[in-house]
Amino acid sequence: MPQAHIHFDVINGAGLVTLDRAKALNALTVEMVTDLRQVLLGWRDDPAISHVVIASSAPRAFCAGGDIRQARETIIAKGFDEADGFFRGEYLVNLAIAEFGKPIIALCDGVVMGGGAGLAEHCTHIIMSETTRFAMPETSIGLFPDVGASLFLGRCPLPVARLLGMTGYIIHGADCMMLGLATSMVASEQMVGLKQSLLNCTASEIDQVIVDFKMDPGVPALNHHMPVINRIFGGDVTPEQMQERAEDMALMRPNDKLVSHVVTAFATRCPVSIKLFWRLLQMSDGITDIGAALTLDYHLAMSMIRRGDYIEGVRAVLVDRDNAPKWSPNRLVLVDKALLDALFDENGLPPLC
């Protein structure tokens, strides 16, 4: 039998979810999300379960996201319906976490990206460390920041949300604390002890247990970059104007790594993905319900995976690894309003649940 990549235990009335696919940085398969949702629904209705801890079996990564390579292979071999099922399963897990009704604590050591951020950000307690590397990198593969990112990135200052969602910029634990993407920071070497203490406490003791372990996050690195971020991404501007601002700033600040990242991202990432997330953030103030956010993500994902950009993006980044995707359209200016309107058209699409 194949090795299970996710484990479930009940210890002293606490549920423990262990992500155990270390070689793949705990990338979520359809089997993993299906099992996780089933167990969470059972624990939700079980009065003997007081709270849940989600952790990784290895400190290198909490979860690097959904297994998008598996989804691509499914599309090529079996068509789109089964791939739709993968995204539906992932979003239903996010919904089950958000609506669990009991404390869920995510221990986010190491990589927390894409679908991993979806697991963490809908928990009641999001614990990060000095090793945390948080990002939403989906524009590099012709997808978009999904899993409810319109809500959790939408709560960030708009220029920062644009930076993170449109360019996949990586931030760290202290940045996440500043942005409300983490509730506490704990030293990486203390995570195992924290997990054990959380499994030995009652729900009413969770906050105090975390206080006993938490560390000073220090000064967020983003603080230093905020003038540049605001200059590029601030105001009522289009992605094309943001790209022009970044290119102009690169001439003045040739050694600025953030500016260089943004210039490269706008030049190399999927133009449709970048503009889709820009539009999604424009709508975010009106998306206050997690069910509505994930339903929209589901419909957008169904549309996006049917575009050639998704197959091509995953090929370039994860299969052939040439990092030279051929996008269509291949420039931001060619992604017009009609194309975006068609992607956001939900008429006739199935509900998430």
What pLDDT does residue 122 have?
98
pLDDT band at 288 (very low <50, low <70, confident <90, very high): confident
Tens of pLDDT, residue by residue over 112-151, are 999 999 999 999 999 999 999 999 999 999 999 999 999 9
pLDDT > 70 fraction of the chain, expressed in percent and rounded: 99
List alpha helices for the chain, DSSP H: 30-44, 68-78, 80-98, 115-121, 149-152, 158-167, 173-179, 191-199, 206-213, 221-233, 239-252, 257-268, 271-283, 290-305, 308-314, 337-343
109 near 62, Cβ under 8 Å?
yes
Whether 2 shows a pLDDT value over 70: the answer reads no
Coil, helix or strand at residue 55: strand
pLDDT score at 1: 34
Q: What is the pLDDT of residue 302?
A: 95
Q: What are phi and psi of 54, to 5 degrees?
A: -110, 125
Output the average pLDDT for the chain.
96
Q: Please state which of the ranges 66-70, 117-121, 166-170, 294-298 shows the lowest mean pLDDT.
A: 66-70
Band (66; pLDDT cuts 50, 70, 90) = very high
pLDDT for the residue 353: 83
pLDDT in tens, 80-114: 988 899 999 999 999 999 999 999 999 999 999 99
- Each residue's pLDDT tens digit, 266-277: 999 999 999 999
- For the chain, domains (ranges, CATH) are 1-348 (3.90.226.10)
pLDDT digit string, tens, across residues 15-56: 999 999 999 999 999 999 999 999 999 999 999 999 999 999
pLDDT of residue 116: 98
For the question of whether the overall pTM of this predicted structure is more than 0.75, the answer is yes
| Residue positions annotated with a catalytic role | 66, 115, 138, 146
Q: Answer yes or no: are the C-beta atoms of 214 and 207 closer than 8 Å.
A: no
